[in-house]
Structure 1
């Protein structure tokens, strides 16, 4: 009973603490739900959904060329070689004859319209003949004219009884009801559509082919698309359009009927007792085309331009095709990619896309049954998903810290995207993606922002308590994730740094007390800032010396890298500091830095009168000893072997193997040489030669070692390390260290 009471009390406290946060989250969910139903659209939601649709289309497009369909291209080269468009009907007849009789195509669909009669020079030549007096000349001229007097008839004869689909277009401006040419026979009359409630695209006028050509053709289909989206992109195309109550088919649909055979059927949904009936699919034999309320289908783009083979029309006319076999048995579309003929469109897969290839994609989709579609139940499923995911996150995110909230958000986004792509690729069902992704993101950002306002108050409290130990950046980390820090005593892997001004005693003797104070302030301020910039913690100042560490109170997996970066930047800052000193008439200063890593004891230590957050241990003492060795090795920074092992993407030079005062076990010491980005052939060669010299030195092969160190000194005269080893070798020659020497140099001073 007590347990149930405690649980209910916890729930009441949670709701009391988070009611405003949850309420605002649910309000956001409500906005997205209203947008999904369409009652209250959110600004730019359609734009984001279009972007996500296009991204999915590009990501899942095929790279393989469809060999069943080819495009006869009225390209720039064809227009240059054969003359500007429109070409004479005689030339078009020759093109058609070659495609069918010589190259063996299966069918030809034309993404062009022949709305005017062909104008030739025959009539003017006839007038000239009438004016002549020579009967023989008249007869010869008439024989010549007779053959080309009616190019339209020549073209009509070439397409008659051939599987040719002519193109035409509808107009949709009520103010301009143009009727030009002759429309084909509708695929379905108004009588067959009674009782079917479909918002067919209704045309106001048309531009069709001249009657002679229309009557000669096997079929015709419209090629214009009035359904481009608000952003100008063509994502869907009407399979059928209505004109004066009758239905007409698109160019791709007409081509498919010839390719597959059979007649169109409308898959009508609705109950017999209901007044509502709608078309869900258009069927052609075994092929099914899912359509929306406009009898339009989503264009199944196979990929970017080039998903079908292009052949220049001039190559057909002049028999210069490289591989004519690709035309045998192919369905051909005649269209243009020439910019001047204005048939370039914006599509999900490319911002500039030939209109003729849209028809080719539609035909390929019909043949393969690969149309994406949005069934009527998708709206309800999307609304349910929005509500479920929204309510779940509204109650869970307030109870999670930043890391878990981020992980959960990523998991939700991943689940949403993966499930969406499953339906997209495996079921060809298009679920809206943008609303779900934006809702999850919006709830996450809202909760993070809300949490930030609360955390900023706790950050101020932490700053006042711990600001003396850690930089502001780490205070922020501590406030955002308290689980990663503790002021209690602990043993952990860390890095510690000691720095000291060389010969500071002599320097201070030449300065007045106020000058000495100012000097230390000018020196320590930028050095401290550098440590803080690299997420370090200042332990203490001991006169001119500074001690800092990394890895506490906030854990830092890159503590060794951060410490080295701070040390290198401190040396750069020293140049700026010395310029300031020079301006004040003070001498330049040199510093030494020692860095070491390992397991150290860290925590709030001290007495009842005073506590200090500090580190202790042998690794700390070694770092202090390394700082003291910098002067003897004529270098600025010395690091221990454990630090070297923890640092990535940096080259080091082993200075020596030493025993420091207070430790019997020898240690290797190193100096930073260069970063992985700075390494070059010269530096690698120097390092290789140096380690060879060091190996000879430790084997007491003095002559070989002396020779190599001397060569290195010539290559790098500014490096005093080589001179130190040369002096040692000279001493060891006079007083050899013995056969049991392990190559270790023992230092007897700190």
Structure 2
């Protein structure tokens, strides 16, 4: 690929982004940016209208001034509840406060202690106390006002170290026997602060009012269900919804994905007869709060009424008829103000009102279980699109493409949020896209303009000029850096060089040797696209596949070796006419993973290959004389060169390599089929190898006799004949794999 280096640079932001979303690399700045984007999107899309179905009765500063400090006596709370439930005729009354302690303000407890102590002998005192008890038992009066009415009490869970539990919890919304045996992944708590028993019995519906505070201190979501001692309890907003709508049954809707030790829900289902209502939840059984406006009395989302006006009967009769009423506080001293995306001092009670409003409208928003997978998908698609496209474009078109991609990402995110109610991640993909664009532009400006000159300077010393010209067409693909690649290496050694040196003058020998090397080099480099590594005396070392990538490097190397053999045969004809000794070549070929690059010392360096695969190629060249063939090829090279006809020679273990290697020699090409007699000899030879490895020596002798008759003087057949005679006297070896060990180089 022409622009692979530039593509790789452009893909770097994608790599870091994927590491971040997978949790391997924690980039807090991206998490903070995601929160900023969510808050901005929320504020930009808030309806800013008032929900007339819900009213907040506010224990505000004016109420504390007129009525007194909180908590108020339960006698006042009884009048408060009666006013709302009877005179104002509200549909549901929910308390975002908890009544965790008995009310002792009437002095009833002190009078009862007197009646049981110093005044126990005074029957008149006991009788008067009995008559006054209904009036002085403020808790009972408040409980009576709530008894059998559409009231939802509030309470809270806590995770303090001691796990203290006060008050009476309501019946769990989901008990253990409603689940599949595994716990749900939810917020979990060790303690609670709930209402006193008399009130809990009078108003059995109750919901917790805990919120979830994110790491930046902002409240963006509320748990719909929370776990305590293996049971699951409902939130205040969910409890009020169930009381208001009559959806008494609650059941879990399991997600298709299930963790190892937890079940995951995609929602909860409320049922009333045949009617069903689905409330989606995130993996932690929470839901994001769809804030309607900036909050508080001036926010305009809900009607606020001072609690003092309710207690003092200032409201016209039935002015709250059919309303869902939440009792909470905006007074700073009562510490129920929260930091939210839409306000720094947001009333906690209004957060529950927002959630209840969304339940009624079916307008919940949440981040679904598959949000991380969606993030990975959009990162991969966006990253690959930019990486593969930007290097091909001019600067102006690259800007347009990047701007279009960013606009598309933002548009898709907004559509999913507003139309589908899905909160999908956006920050990481935006930063990744901007970073990819910036890196691509910087690379193109600072690096690519100098690449051709640097490449010519680097490689011009080490590789042929024609390869440098080819590389300059796509300079970004090449580097002098060492790298592991699958290549094919050749070692070609001249035979008979010593005899030539004895019959020729040094200058004549030099000229002849240069002529041979020139012919072989031309075949390797010009005709078969190979790279000459080095000349070592009368040996040539070359490789295929680098620096110019060559998919068919093994096939090219074999073709080069065959052509070199033919060139040596023609050269020998010339020697014959000149009365010079004949020369031969031994060639070893191997394909494998090699380290290729600029290597050496500060004084001298070369572009070369090293590694175990290179060493094996050298060993194979040395075996060519042993097996009486011109070329010995490894099984990896043979497998990658399908256009040739092969004769298997042996299985060998060469020095420095414990694993046996099957070696071959080419005997022709598939384009020119062998003569029938030659095909028959190859088939007979393959039968011989099978018998040899099965240690069937008599069969080997018979097959070798037939082969010798067809080709007398064949070194390979003589080699195996000697082996068979030597092995015949040995006992059968069950673990023998037929491989021959070579301990010399």
Does the pair score TM above 0.5?
yes
Measured in 2, the distance between the counterparts of 1:273 and 1:401 equals 48
Deviation at 1:290, TM superposition (A): 1.1
The aligned counterpart of 1:368 is: 361
- The change in CA–CA distance for 1:384 and 1:143 in structure 2 (over 3 A counts) is closer
- The change in CA–CA distance for 1:125 and 1:272 in structure 2 (over 3 A counts) is closer
The aligned counterpart of 2:265 is: 279
Measured in 2, the distance between the counterparts of 1:326 and 1:444 equals 60
Out of 62, 69, 77, which is 2:47 matched to? Answer: 62
Q: Which has the larger radius of gyration?
A: 2
The equivalences for 1:466-477 within 5 A come to: none
Out of 439, 448, 465, which is 2:432 matched to? Answer: 439
Deviation at 1:145, TM superposition (A): 4.5
Does structure 1 residue 327 correspond to structure 2 residue 314?
no
Does structure 1 residue 34 correspond to structure 2 residue 19?
yes
The aligned counterpart of 2:206 is: 220
The aligned counterpart of 1:201 is: 187
Measured in 1, the distance between the counterparts of 2:130 and 2:40 equals 62
Measured in 2, the distance between the counterparts of 1:276 and 1:183 equals 25
The aligned counterpart of 1:120 is: 105
The superposition leaves residues 323-378 of structure 1 with CA deviations (integer Å, 9 ceiling, x where unpaired) of: 76651100001100001000011122222211111111111111111111233333
Measured in 1, the distance between the counterparts of 2:338 and 2:158 equals 18
SS in 2 for 1:95: helix
The aligned counterpart of 1:44 is: 29
Deviation at 1:270, TM superposition (A): 3.9
User: Is there any run of 5+ residues in structure 1 with no aligned partner, and where?
Assistant: 1-10, 459-750
The superposition leaves residues 664-709 of structure 1 with CA deviations (integer Å, 9 ceiling, x where unpaired) of: xxxxxxxxxxxxxxxxxxxxxxxxxxxxxxxxxxxxxxxxxxxxxx
User: Is there any run of 5+ residues in structure 2 with no aligned partner, and where?
Assistant: 452-745
The superposition leaves residues 576-617 of structure 1 with CA deviations (integer Å, 9 ceiling, x where unpaired) of: xxxxxxxxxxxxxxxxxxxxxxxxxxxxxxxxxxxxxxxxxx
Measured in 2, the distance between the counterparts of 1:236 and 1:54 equals 12
Does structure 1 residue 288 correspond to structure 2 residue 273?
no
The aligned counterpart of 1:234 is: 219
The aligned counterpart of 2:152 is: 165
Measured in 2, the distance between the counterparts of 1:45 and 1:212 equals 50
TM-score (norm 2): 0.55
Deviation at 1:275, TM superposition (A): 9.0
Q: Is the 8 A contact 1:289 1:297 kept in 2?
A: no
The aligned counterpart of 1:703 is: none
SS in 1 for 2:206: strand
The superposition leaves residues 498-549 of structure 1 with CA deviations (integer Å, 9 ceiling, x where unpaired) of: xxxxxxxxxxxxxxxxxxxxxxxxxxxxxxxxxxxxxxxxxxxxxxxxxxxx
Q: Is the 8 A contact 1:345 1:351 kept in 2?
A: yes
Measured in 2, the distance between the counterparts of 1:237 and 1:294 equals 10
Q: Is the 8 A contact 2:10 2:437 kept in 1?
A: no
Does structure 1 residue 303 correspond to structure 2 residue 293?
yes
- The change in CA–CA distance for 1:25 and 1:43 in structure 2 (over 3 A counts) is farther
Does structure 1 residue 105 correspond to structure 2 residue 90?
yes
Does structure 1 residue 152 correspond to structure 2 residue 139?
yes
The aligned counterpart of 2:637 is: none
Deviation at 1:282, TM superposition (A): 0.6
The aligned counterpart of 2:631 is: none
SS in 1 for 2:344: coil
The aligned counterpart of 2:401 is: 408
- The change in CA–CA distance for 1:452 and 1:144 in structure 2 (over 3 A counts) is farther
Calculate the aligned-residue CA RMSD, in Å: 3.1
The equivalences for 1:530-609 within 5 A come to: none
Deviation at 1:425, TM superposition (A): 0.4
- The change in CA–CA distance for 1:109 and 1:395 in structure 2 (over 3 A counts) is same
The aligned counterpart of 2:74 is: 89
The aligned counterpart of 1:428 is: 421
Q: Is the 8 A contact 2:226 2:233 kept in 1?
A: yes
Q: Is the 8 A contact 1:196 1:278 kept in 2?
A: no
Q: Is the 8 A contact 2:111 2:129 kept in 1?
A: no
Q: Is the 8 A contact 2:258 2:264 kept in 1?
A: no
Deviation at 1:406, TM superposition (A): 2.5
- The change in CA–CA distance for 1:332 and 1:31 in structure 2 (over 3 A counts) is same
Deviation at 1:379, TM superposition (A): 2.6
TM-score (norm 1): 0.55
The aligned counterpart of 1:176 is: 162
Deviation at 1:147, TM superposition (A): 5.1
The aligned counterpart of 2:535 is: none
Number of paired residues?
A: 439
Measured in 1, the distance between the counterparts of 2:136 and 2:330 equals 31
Measured in 1, the distance between the counterparts of 2:11 and 2:112 equals 84
